[in-house]
Chains A and B, each alone.
Chain A
Amino acid sequence: MTSLPADERIAGAGLLRRLLIRPELGSVVGAIAVFAFFSSQSPVFRSADGVANWLDPASTLGIMAVAIALLMIGGEFDLSAGVLTGTTGLVMVTLATKYGWNLWAAMLAGLVLALAIGFANGLLVVRTKLPSFIVTLGTFLMLQGLNLGVTKALTGTVQVSGLRRAEGYDGAQALLAGSVTVGGVDFRVAILWWIGVTALATWVLMRSRAGNWIFAVGGNEQAARAVGVPAARTKIALFMTTATAAWLVGSIMALRFTSVQANAGIGQEFIYIIAAVIGGCLLTGGYGSAIGASIGAVIFGMADKGIVFAGWDADWFKFFLGAMLLLATLANRLVRRYAEEVRR
């Protein structure tokens, strides 16, 4: 393999420039700042127990944020992703407790349903060419109604519970909702799932054909189609990916609490988008990173638990989240300007 000599014009400034246009940059700086801040406020925060504590909310959020980041890079939104975590959990618990299904079979049924909903979302967006914001807002509201209506009709209450008695619970619990002990500290096993999802998504984005297509359909769908990129297929697959992630998180949550509320997951959809945006995703698509979205989730987890560790009122959390979002979006806009500037 011959390597051509580097152009003399990219010497020196190249590294800094390359670093600056990384989509993750803002979130890395933000994460370091937030960690430093809460570490100085509370010694527990920086202890191993503390880390295990704030990595827990970061993990389930991170799995979703990574999937949403892929979708956003592909130029679409999914507002139904949050409520879908509730739907899949409800289906799984209902089938396992009320109808006596084996838990693994119930989980599989949840996956099939999630894939079907993701496919329907994608197909609607691709066929109607309506903004995905509207299409998935529609499915979001429909699922919200279904979750409540069906749960009430079947159980007479707004929750399903008793998963612990289901056949196959112990194995599934260990796999998705258990913990691993590292150096005497219990870490949730969901953290491993999160790391795995992030690694897989990063590989797909950076090192697979599909990754190239995702960037392309989000950057300029017409141009992508003109050079033979299967744009519709790519987008539908992305919606099915977020649905699969919602199923994974819904199953983790259901196994952890052994019950699911009918309103589970509602309101989370924006948190996923916020984490993805803090991680460098552009709202207009075509740019972003899976690692960035994961780091966005870490910031979220640190702030969520850090405020409690520091002994503050949890109300401050929302303020903090809003400020992070604004800062991140402003930083992203600068990056985009820089990347798109045309020198004539």
Chain B
Amino acid sequence: MDGLSGKKPAVVWLLNISVVVLVALWLFPTLGLFVSSFRTSEQITASGWWSSLFPAQQTLQLRALDPDDNRIETSAGVFIVEGNVLEGDYADVNIDSWGTSSRDPNAFTIGDTADLGEGETMTLNADGTYVWQGNDDQISGRGQRLFVIATLPPEFTTNNYRNVLLKEGNSENMAKAFFNTLTVVIPATIIPILIAAFAAYALAWMDFPGRALLIATVVGLLVVPLQLALIPLLQFHNAIGIGKGYLGVWMAHTGFGLPLAIYLLRNYMVGLPRDIIENARVDGATEFQIFTKIILPLSFPALASFAIFQFLWTWNDLLVALVFLIDSSGETTVMTKQIVELLGTRGGDWEILATSAFISIAVPLLVFFMMQKYLVRGLLAGSVK
């Protein structure tokens, strides 16, 4: 920070704080999705995800035990029911106040014996134990409904992931879509690399008429919007009989990825030392040998960069899959398409949406953090030159 600080402590502080704010701003959205995917649907609708990180007050609707089975006659005509309303779902919960109507869950204080009218009483403790007392008529039928305001500790669950990925016959289809996406991505990443590597070598180290024109064409094609390719290629795929399907989407991704692949690899290969290649030529190596034995291993960083780009792009793609892959049967659906579908049909079910979305972005994020070095290198080679 030579320019901006002169190392004054106040300025350094200001600098750190502004970066913290910036980072928080950029992290916050993803964090929201991540945290939400570990909450139950009740938790998600009851409070914002940011409050889930701290203990929170929440209104719970509970019910005392069924009196007909559980009541005990303590003296003539006086029945009591004893139990714990928090048993089961709500361990570790502290009740702050309670009531018997949803409109007034603050009606009674914890520990006091509350008068429910006509001699019927109830005592509720913070830990959920209660004593409900009344005459034969009052302590019968269904258990007393209780509305309690309770402090819940932060609680997270992996049930959403279990439901979305493993539950038999669920409507989200995320597990299938995950494998479909993988099926699209791997060939669509590997094939263009091979084709591009040979072409890039020819453009970088072979001399032939029309080379400059070809390089210019590749640079031009880099920015051609793939929107133009949709209808003509769909017609073409139908004409040669592959229609909508994996083969079509692999070919499309290969075609669309090639300009960047050739451009990145050529820029990298041009920078390799001339001596190595010329020495090999003098020693009688064929061009094919030079390429496979020398150029390819040396170009590993550039190959890795492109592979990451292509992986991210094909994994995250929606448009190409919609047009070239997914037919009316929906058997070949990919994750991005499933999520758009869920946004339409289950727009309010945030536990499903957040979980599905996080499943689809987890893999790219993993790749991103593991291979960031190559990604940055590729970006720099592709843009600054």
Co-assembled chains A and B = no
